[in-house]
A and B are shown apart, each in its own frame.
Chain A
């Protein structure tokens, strides 16, 4: 019952804005390839079965758990990980808010929460506390009790609203919504 060495598949993607090609076994998850093949270890493994959200990334702008996708499914897609959110040393509003509000303790869930929160604010720049809690219910944090995380996201939303013109905001919303339905169909 010896298994033969698996044949590797070529995957062509854009990762954090740069074109990236890599080889992977068909059985490897996107999470595994991001971490092991591409060294993007900011995306974390907490459960490897879709229940903790630590591996959250954006795939064509849509929030996904990278442990639940095979890497080959990302062929042709554009991926954004936590490493690709900041613009140089300029943190995004969500990153800055997590830092300012001390919304992390051990920090292992933080990349997933930041990616998930950014996905929410890209879609809805003015979420209620309840909406934030609902959206983030796919991400587990065991340290903070969520209080400071929710406050950080509320504050980040305010920062985002304050810095973006209202017309641009609504345009972004519809563009992102379109991506949601398109990608949902594809996946």
Chain B
């Protein structure tokens, strides 16, 4: 059996002021044999020895290398492309432009987490008549080496008519703003506008009677907030290798969150039958929503079609920033009303989100999450999606929710200060719960918001005094914020240190998954799944099968297989993989047991209904002497009709929402504006943590991405719409030195929509951190930071230092 590391065995070294404190608690419910343990992942050895094969590691005989020519302008008309010099360069084998694309239908397709119009998807890969952002692809070259291909793209001459660009969401909404698409008519509340604009969509969500809500409100807080465009920041650059064979079969090797999604997008974009496209997913080096859309696969396929050779393409880091799908910047105005005893009665919000260059953004998801933590009787949200001269946005971990929470959770904080209520008591009083109706009309099933808030309120971190200032600096008393009465842990005893809390919601998704399980004669099983494994899901899926089969975690050998080898499976996204593909694994395992019971009945010559299975052993109620272990029966399958394969396929309808609360302590350097995260605790409902270490990993990783979004990260554009920080040096994601240990508490409120109670855990941890840090900064400085990132310049400006 696998090594098990229990949380208590690792001692906290610096971040807990109390030496006795044990980090990473699991408040477990339910008792299982395999589920809830911490086996080493099945792909662990390959990944610590460098043997795991990622997309960029693929090498095929005769392979060519592709590079892309990209627009230097944020907005321009393409007048002429002359590739004659490039074509003449030795080693250049093919050049493609939008002219090589088939005509695409004007049709919207769903990509699992996001989607788009086929025409737009195609135009984003190779621009037809206009470039709409700096980095927009214009042409691609295949050559005998990447260096030759790079030289060749520099030899392609393009004549542009440069157009005025608009990169700010509010400016783009103004009358007279430069238009990206002359044919874009706003779809407003189901009706199309008669004049084109940059506003792609206006939708409204209403609940109760807003006017009545404002009449009941005795205390009101409001604010206006903006967030900058950010990138998922996966460490592995986007890549794809394609081979278009003489029989018109296209084979693609790539790093993707969804092999079937790649297959379907390539089919739509190249107007090619899905049955003639096979996608072989390689290991994937991070995605976070950013590796769902295709950027290179169809282009590599076109280059392969022209050359008859496999073509490999990989982006540079600068291309990843400039030409993949970042998360939208946003603008939001939020107003909340409560009674004097602290009950939320009215909520109103306006929200505008960047689409980037083509229609489609996260406003619906943002609106669903904006007030999703609370039970509010009356409210309205108006949401807008706006095209701007930036790369087309894509999903990023709980897409839309962090931007919404940054606004809502700060207004909640203001309301708590006005009411003089403890921020967690207020959230508990107003918490969403089973039966709460949301702004999009859904009704919550059993959810864990209250349990998470309770665990946060009882946590040692929330009760502990703020740690002493490390350098003994004397605080400026005038910076002290308004104080919440009776909330000692939130008082700014030293004004440049502060503690903040925030609560986050993400709805999670279900979608389709298929698993097949084949029984081996030695009593082990092979499990084939279509969900690419980004964070340990081979383990969390295999463990659910093992639990049903009565086997050890390592008796199940999981494999991520290609689109020809397993049934349809949606993307690894939406926090769905352990939930939905795990559910399919449970069904496949149950199918195996059902078939094995029939074989036992055959061997024992008893009625099939008399055969029972429990914890790895088959018995019969007709005779207590009849008993076979899973392994023993597996050994007799070959002689009783052959080895067994079970399948499970499901689109589970009830993913169950996820909630997470953050408690964060910050220190601000008043001279430089630099913020240090002193301590960070994240409390989250996992439903049931299948492999607690990987649940903690999601919570810790999501929190640190949230910290980066809060304090550093942004697309910094010059006045011509060109990104000035398109490198990992200048974009500045958090390093190990920028963060403390991230302490976790896993709360388990079983999801009734899953056999083991699983809820998705991957996305919600990124939702609350920016707001929690903003609330802590308010306690530390007395200033409300209303724009992300809250970098040193923003903090010094807010404090009046610069």
**Residue positions of A touching B, CB distance < 8 A:** 1-3, 5, 25, 27-28, 35-36, 39-52, 54, 81-83, 85-86, 91, 95-96, 98-102, 104-111, 114, 128-130, 132-134, 136-151, 154-155
Question: 24 A-B contacts, Cβ less than 8 Å apart?
Answer: A3-B89, A40-B50, A41-B50, A46-B728, A49-B317, A51-B729, A52-B235, A83-B49, A100-B3, A102-B40, A105-B286, A106-B234, A108-B54, A108-B286, A110-B47, A111-B50, A114-B48, A129-B14, A143-B701, A146-B700, A147-B696, A147-B742, A148-B700, A149-B736
Counting CB contacts under 8 A, is B727 at the interface? yes
- Please name the residue on chain B nearest to A4 by beta carbon: B90
Candidate in A99, A102, A141, A145 with the most chain B CB atoms within 10 angstroms: A145
The answer to whether A145 and B701 touch (CB under 8 A), given A1-B85, A139-B736, is yes
Shortest Cβ distance from A102 into chain B, in angstroms? 4
Q: How far is the CA of A36 from the CA of B44 in the complex (A)?
A: 24
| B733 close to A151 (CB less than 8 A) | no
| A52 close to B728 (CB less than 8 A) | yes
Counting CB contacts under 8 A, is B59 at the interface? yes
Q: Contact partner of B49 among A86, A146, A155, CB < 8 A?
A: A86
Q: Contact partner of B235 among A35, A133, A141, CB < 8 A?
A: A141
- Please name the residue on chain B nearest to A43 by beta carbon: B50
Shortest Cβ distance from A63 into chain B, in angstroms? 15
Residues from chain B with Cβ under 8 Å of A42 in the complex:
49-51
| B56 close to A45 (CB less than 8 A) | yes
| B700 close to A147 (CB less than 8 A) | yes
The answer to whether A142 and B733 touch (CB under 8 A), given A100-B3, A104-B47, is yes
Q: How far is the CA of A154 from the CA of B235 in the complex (A)?
A: 24
Shortest Cβ distance from A36 into chain B, in angstroms? 8
Q: How far is the CA of A5 from the CA of B314 in the complex (A)?
A: 23
Residues from chain A with Cβ under 8 Å of B147 in the complex:
25, 27-28
The answer to whether A142 and B235 touch (CB under 8 A), given A137-B737, A154-B13, is yes
Q: How far is the CA of A146 from the CA of B536 in the complex (A)?
A: 16
Shortest Cβ distance from A124 into chain B, in angstroms? 16
| B736 close to A105 (CB less than 8 A) | no
Counting CB contacts under 8 A, is B635 at the interface? no
Counting CB contacts under 8 A, is B693 at the interface? yes
- Please name the residue on chain A nearest to B48 by beta carbon: A95
Q: How far is the CA of A145 from the CA of B700 in the complex (A)?
A: 5
Candidate in B47, B85, B697, B739 with the most chain A CB atoms within 10 angstroms: B47
Shortest Cβ distance from A159 into chain B, in angstroms? 13
- Please name the residue on chain B nearest to A135 by beta carbon: B736
| B38 close to A145 (CB less than 8 A) | no
Type the 1/0 row for B703-745, where 1 means its CB is closer than 8 Å to any CB of A.
Answer: 1110000000000000000000001110001111111011000
Q: How far is the CA of A123 from the CA of B54 in the complex (A)?
A: 31
The answer to whether A129 and B285 touch (CB under 8 A), given A100-B5, A105-B535, is no
| A143 close to B45 (CB less than 8 A) | no
Residues from chain B with Cβ under 8 Å of A5 in the complex:
90-91
Chain B residues 47 to 79 lying within 8 A of chain A, measured CB to CB, are: 47-54, 56-57, 59
| B45 close to A99 (CB less than 8 A) | yes
The answer to whether A142 and B234 touch (CB under 8 A), given A42-B49, A106-B535, is yes
The answer to whether A143 and B317 touch (CB under 8 A), given A42-B50, A45-B237, is no
| A104 close to B285 (CB less than 8 A) | no
Q: How far is the CA of A162 from the CA of B678 in the complex (A)?
A: 32
Residues from chain B with Cβ under 8 Å of A141 in the complex:
235, 736
Q: How far is the CA of A11 from the CA of B703 in the complex (A)?
A: 45
| B735 close to A140 (CB less than 8 A) | yes
| A2 close to B45 (CB less than 8 A) | no
| B50 close to A83 (CB less than 8 A) | yes
Q: How far is the CA of A57 from the CA of B646 in the complex (A)?
A: 45
Shortest Cβ distance from A40 into chain B, in angstroms? 8
| B701 close to A105 (CB less than 8 A) | yes
| B44 close to A99 (CB less than 8 A) | yes
| Other contacts beyond A1-B155, A145-B703: 14, CB < 8 A | A2-B89, A42-B49, A46-B317, A48-B316, A50-B729, A82-B50, A96-B48, A102-B38, A108-B285, A134-B737, A137-B737, A141-B235, A143-B286, A144-B700
| A107 close to B234 (CB less than 8 A) | no
Shortest Cβ distance from B284 into chain A, in angstroms? 6
| B53 close to A106 (CB less than 8 A) | no
Interface of A is mostly: loop
Residues from chain B with Cβ under 8 Å of A36 in the complex:
59
Type the 1/0 row for B311-346, where 1 means its CB is closer than 8 Å to any CB of A.
Answer: 000101100000000000000000000000000000
Q: How far is the CA of A106 from the CA of B701 in the complex (A)?
A: 11
- Please name the residue on chain A nearest to B47 by beta carbon: A107
- Please name the residue on chain A nearest to B23 by beta carbon: A147
Q: How far is the CA of A54 from the CA of B728 in the complex (A)?
A: 12
Q: Contact partner of A151 among B10, B703, B704, CB < 8 A?
A: B10
Shortest Cβ distance from A131 into chain B, in angstroms? 10
Q: How far is the CA of A91 from the CA of B50 in the complex (A)?
A: 12
Q: How far is the CA of A86 from the CA of B44 in the complex (A)?
A: 14
Residues from chain B with Cβ under 8 Å of A45 in the complex:
56, 237, 314
Q: How far is the CA of A54 from the CA of B234 in the complex (A)?
A: 12
| B286 close to A142 (CB less than 8 A) | yes
Q: Contact partner of A41 among B57, B233, B735, CB < 8 A?
A: B57
- Please name the residue on chain A nearest to B39 by beta carbon: A102
- Please name the residue on chain A nearest to B53 by beta carbon: A41
Shortest Cβ distance from A122 into chain B, in angstroms? 17
| A39 close to B48 (CB less than 8 A) | no
The answer to whether A47 and B317 touch (CB under 8 A), given A95-B48, A108-B286, A147-B742, is yes
Q: How far is the CA of A151 from the CA of B285 in the complex (A)?
A: 22
Shortest Cβ distance from B394 into chain A, in angstroms? 15
| A51 close to B728 (CB less than 8 A) | yes
| B536 close to A105 (CB less than 8 A) | yes
The answer to whether A142 and B3 touch (CB under 8 A), given A42-B51, A46-B317, A99-B48, is no
Counting CB contacts under 8 A, is B101 at the interface? no
Q: How far is the CA of A151 from the CA of B283 in the complex (A)?
A: 25
Q: Contact partner of B729 among A49, A144, A147, CB < 8 A?
A: A49
Chain B residues 729 to 774 lying within 8 A of chain A, measured CB to CB, are: 729, 733-739, 741-742
Counting CB contacts under 8 A, is B534 at the interface? yes
Residues from chain B with Cβ under 8 Å of A27 in the complex:
147
| B59 close to A104 (CB less than 8 A) | no
| B736 close to A51 (CB less than 8 A) | no
Residues from chain A with Cβ under 8 Å of B57 in the complex:
35, 41
Shortest Cβ distance from A24 into chain B, in angstroms? 11
Q: How far is the CA of A151 from the CA of B47 in the complex (A)?
A: 18
Shortest Cβ distance from B692 into chain A, in angstroms? 9
Residues from chain B with Cβ under 8 Å of A106 in the complex:
234-236, 283-287, 534-535
| A132 close to B233 (CB less than 8 A) | no
| A95 close to B49 (CB less than 8 A) | yes
Shortest Cβ distance from A146 into chain B, in angstroms? 4
| A142 close to B288 (CB less than 8 A) | yes
| A140 close to B236 (CB less than 8 A) | no
| A129 close to B13 (CB less than 8 A) | yes
Q: How far is the CA of A130 from the CA of B738 in the complex (A)?
A: 11
Residues from chain A with Cβ under 8 Å of B728 in the complex:
46-47, 49, 51-52, 140
Counting CB contacts under 8 A, is B778 at the interface? no
